[in-house]
Chain A
Amino acid sequence: MTDKTTITLTINGRKHTIAVEPRRTLVDAIREDCGQTGTHIGCEHGVCGACTVIVNGEPVRSCLMFAVQADGKEIRTIEGLANGEVLHPMQQAFMDNHGLQCGFCTPGFLMLAVGVLEREPDISDDDLLDVLSSNLCRCTGYQNIIKSVRQAAVEMRK
């Protein structure tokens, strides 16, 4: 299992050309080969969503995708969410509404919510709840995550 393949991952607009084993997951490649450790690993079996990133516009669980499958694709991670010093409305909303406590699941929730709202800005409250129940948080009881995402949705529609 040591034959490596050379791939190029474009993360937040920057190209990373790396050599990975075919079995390497996208999240391991993002964290270890590209040094972007803001994306977290919570379960490695696709349940918790902590590793959610946006690949070609779609939120995906990067523990369930091989790095080689993301070759040449546009990947967005938490590190690219703010515009320089200006936070994304979703980041601001999580801070305003206490949408995080330990912060471990937060990057995954932010990328999930941003990915979905960019695709579906007028998503209904019920559908939003369905989407947010894809990821797990153990600290907040989800109350303030839901509140944060709703506030950001309003901002993002402006």
Chain B
Amino acid sequence: MTSPVSPHTTKGSAGDRLKWVGRAIRRVEDPVLVQGRGHFTADLPAAHWVRFVRSPVAAGTIKSITAPDGATVVTAADLVGVKPITPMLHKFEYRAVGQPVLADGQVRFVGEAVAAVVAASEEEAEDIVDLVELDIDETRPLVDSRDALQPDAPQIHGVAPGNVILKGQFKTEGFDAVWSSAARIVKIDARSHRQNATPMEARAAHAVCDPSSGRVTLTCTTQMPHLVRTAIADLLGMPESELRVIAPDVGGGFGQKMSLCTEYVLLVWLARKLRSSVAWTEDRRENLIASFHSRDQYVTLEAAFDADARLLALRTDIVSNVGAYSCFPTTSGVEPLMAMAEMPGPYDFRHYQCLARGVLTNTCTMAAYRGVSRPIITFTLERLMDKAAKAFAIDPVDIRRRNLISAFPYTSAMGLVYDDATYRETLEMAVKAVDMPAFRARQQAARAKGKYLGIGFATFSERTGYGSPAFAARGMEITPGWETVHITVDPSGFVEVRIGSSPHGQGLRTTLAQIVADEIGVPPEMIKVVHGDTDTAPYGWGTFASRSLVISGGASLIAARKVRAKLIKIASHMLEAAADDIVLEDGQAKVAGTDRTVTIARMAREIYTQTHRFKGELEPGLSESGTYDPPGTFSNACHVAMVELDPETGFVKVDRYLVAEDAGRIINPMIADGQVHGGVAQGIGNALLEEIVYDEGGGILTASLADYMPPTAHEIPAIELHHIETPSTESITKAKGLGEGGTIGPPAAVLNAINDALTPFGVEIDTIPATPQRIRAALRKAETAA
């Protein structure tokens, strides 16, 4: 079956014969999900239910916690010997901040878990929560990272003076001389407000202890089951073998589910203590205030240009509000360090200076969210390029043409190596598709009628599929990167592919089957990809950072090549032919140029049950492993937004959205398009709507989905996709990652479009989300000035 998908153009020759890779086959994940037969964590029954008592204040000292008579209420005092979550970086002046599983003496943000109530039902537990009395001595909270940096600011953690948890600094040699030689300096002060990844399934966990063995099975909504096991075993001081972690069907993650949750640790502790089953299902309010937040940054960026508008150097100051604690395993370096490394983007220049700080505040802890810092740095850099175009009185497209990287491999000023990509080609593809002269004419005509249209471009690179060297460069004590895949052809002839990645909507069970199918010559329906259970899946890092298709896909290919090699040897024996003459396809081995065949199912059966026939030359069984740890590969894209802005209300409607994208070889175009669609929708939400708002006291004003506004079908226009496929030389499947790219471009493209629409008013807006209130405030300022 094929689906109508967007046009794909392959650059260069793929050079090999592929039958299943590249086809828009239907997903194997879907039949169960469309019938309501999925297994999500909250579907499990439990003997005990937990609700958390959460801090109503942002900062203070706990004086007492009083539980009603007869209630089971767990506090920090009960958790003797349980270590705090203390992620570690060995670079960048990182301060190791510990987070107790339940607040221990101090509370540091509204929503922090102070106590856990255990009861026979959720309702009963919730009723008891209302009766628990907290006496907290409030202290002055710090909400804004700039306030936390003031000399008189209270210190949130004793180990982090000045509330700075880490400081990344970088400067190229000879920077100052180049900077002072510039013809023009262009500057932007950008602000990204705080957001929440908002998976439709909030967090949930279910832990059950086998009363005889004491072994615990934790089922939870996570993107990284093995790491959850490692972390919890460490914190509770138990062997990993006594803990099994299952990520069943997981209802989206977007990064929010790749960090360790204190609640999951507590559930395992409780299950062991009660020798029973215990469950917790987060409600949406908890998710919005107390899961993880992201994207709260101030970014100042300056660019030095020569007289021809060619970029010479960038200088930036990044302040990332990391909240009250540091997330595990990435640490709160995830945003500031990503921003530092990738700020140079897709442009060709040699000099760069950066100061990136992570700043602690009395707010919910920051963690990864799809794209991590790149939606912000791309928005900042692309707004700067538009400002520079204006300063040089040239077209925004022209300034990009002058500065985009075009020769590969390219080593950035920061030292990252960019593999072959299509920065210029995707820009030109987008320019052609939007018909700029026609748009400008329409824009002029509309202005005459009091309607304000705008167009905005965003060109960017997206580092994907990076292995352990990239994480090691950050100095992470836990250095993720590689993936292992085990493939077994069992005696029935069916194929099982066990992976360490942990997909939760990405369709990896389908795409990995396509990769394996081509290599070993069986159709994908004979291949079952298994994941998400530490008892059956090989140790792996999970699914995040646009990595799974590249890294687990590569590991699948390596393992499949070994299976293929063995199948050829088996066939060579059984068909009495030279190995070079064996062809594997359609579930059979054939001797080329003859009609001699044997099915793969038959070969599999014999290698288990008739091993004597192979005279000791082949080992019994058909099971192979592959491990892959690639350096990383850069996807790229050009996004274009066209908007209409109502100056009376500040309302922005996105009329048209276009993506020209290059993610290397596309394994399944239908799934690839779906990833981009979903990413763009989140990006448009990030650009226009979504914001976690704190009041001055650290209380959250956006604690429901009616206040924190993920976009609906109304806010998202038809998304037009164009792909170029530049086979990656840094990825053995030739695929690049594309999970995050969709989300990276929209804040830049939409804000550039809004500012284009605002041109007649002489005001600019460099804040996301660009809500109607903010746009009206900018316009009012202009009206007052006039």
Contact = CB atoms under 8 A, between A and B. Distances in A.
Given A43-B704, A47-B705, A96-B26, A141 B33 contact: no
B713 interface: yes
B131 to A, nearest CB: 13
B674 A101 contact: yes
A6 interface: no
Given A40-B201, A42-B284, A133-B712, A101 B36 contact: no
B678 A138 contact: yes
A20 to B, nearest CB: 10
Nearest to A128: B713
A75 interface: no
B250 interface: yes
Contacts of B3: 96-98
A130 B714 contact: yes
Contacts of A42: 200-202, 284
A102 B35 contact: no
A145 B506 CA distance: 16
A138 B714 contact: no
Contacts of B40: 37, 40, 104
Contact of A95 (B26, B43, B714): B26
Given A43-B705, A47-B706, A94 B30 contact: yes
B35 A129 contact: no
Interface residues of A, number: 57
Contact of B504 (A81, A100, A102): A102
B34 A91 contact: yes
A104 B677 contact: no
A104 B681 contact: no
B34 A87 contact: yes
Interface in A118-134: 129-130, 132-134
Nearest to B684: A141
Contacts of A135: 712
B4 to A, nearest CB: 8
B615 interface: no
B37 A141 contact: no
B27 A98 contact: yes
B681 to A, nearest CB: 3
Given A42-B284, A43-B704, A104 B200 contact: yes
A21 B123 contact: yes
Interface stretch (A54-62, A64-72, A105-113): A105-113
Interface in B184-204: 198-202
B621 interface: no
B704 A104 contact: no
A104 B252 contact: yes
A50 interface: yes
Interface string B1-16: 1010000000000000
B713 A100 contact: no
B581 interface: no
A78 B35 contact: yes
Interface in A32-48: 32, 36-45, 47-48
A19 interface: no
A140 B677 contact: yes
A133 B714 contact: yes
Contacts of B674: 98, 101, 139-140, 144
A50 to B, nearest CB: 6
A95 B30 contact: yes
B29 interface: yes
A44 to B, nearest CB: 6
Contacts of B284: 42-45, 48
A100 B35 contact: no
A149 to B, nearest CB: 10
Contacts of A40: 40, 42, 200-201, 251
A37 B680 contact: no
Contact of B31 (A32, A44, A95, A142): A95
Given A91-B35, A95-B26, A140 B712 contact: no
Contact of B249 (A95, A97, A103, A130): A103
A101 B675 CA distance: 9
Contacts of B31: 87, 95
A153 interface: no
Interface string A133-158: 11111111111111000000000000
B706 A45 contact: yes
B329 interface: no
B505 A103 contact: yes
Contacts of A1: 123, 127
User: A interface, by DSSP: helix, strand, loop or mixed?
Assistant: loop
B201 A100 contact: no
Given A47-B705, A101-B506, A136-B200, A39 B716 contact: no
A6 B780 CA distance: 60
A106 to B, nearest CB: 6
Contacts of A133: 712-714
A136 B678 contact: no
A79 B696 CA distance: 47
B42 A41 contact: yes
A138 B713 contact: no
A77 interface: yes
Contacts of A21: 123
A102 B201 contact: yes
B34 to A, nearest CB: 4
B27 A141 contact: no
Nearest to B5: A98
Interface string B223-256: 0000000000000000000000000011110100
Nearest to B283: A44
A102 B252 contact: yes
Contact of B710 (A95, A98, A104, A136): A136
A21 B123 CA distance: 10
B397 interface: no
A132 to B, nearest CB: 5
B568 interface: no
Contacts of A110: 34
A130 B710 CA distance: 16
Contacts of B504: 102
Nearest to A136: B710
B682 interface: yes
B718 interface: yes
Nearest to B38: A103
Contacts of B258: none
Contacts of B670: 98
Nearest to B34: A91
B719 interface: yes
Contacts of A101: 252, 505-507, 674, 678
A46 B123 CA distance: 19
Contacts of B713: 129, 132-133, 142, 145-146
Contacts of B333: none
Contacts of A102: 199-201, 249-252, 504-505
A137 B200 contact: yes
Contact of A81 (B1, B35, B199): B35
A143 B718 contact: yes
Given A48-B705, A98-B3, A132-B713, A144 B677 contact: yes
A110 B38 CA distance: 15
A137 B674 CA distance: 12
Interface in B688-742: 704-706, 710, 712-714, 716, 718-719, 742
Nearest to B721: A143
B509 to A, nearest CB: 12
Task: Enumerate the 3 nearest inter-chain pairs by beta-carbon distance, A residue then B residue, closest first.
Answer: A38-B36, A104-B251, A103-B33
Given A79-B36, A100-B30, A139-B200, 15 more contacts: A23-B123, A32-B45, A43-B284, A43-B705, A50-B200, A78-B35, A78-B36, A96-B26, A101-B506, A102-B252, A137-B200, A138-B199, A139-B674, A143-B718, A143-B719
23 contacts: A1-B127, A24-B123, A37-B36, A38-B37, A44-B284, A45-B705, A48-B284, A79-B35, A98-B3, A98-B673, A100-B34, A102-B200, A102-B249, A102-B251, A105-B251, A136-B710, A138-B200, A138-B254, A139-B505, A141-B677, A142-B677, A145-B713, A146-B713
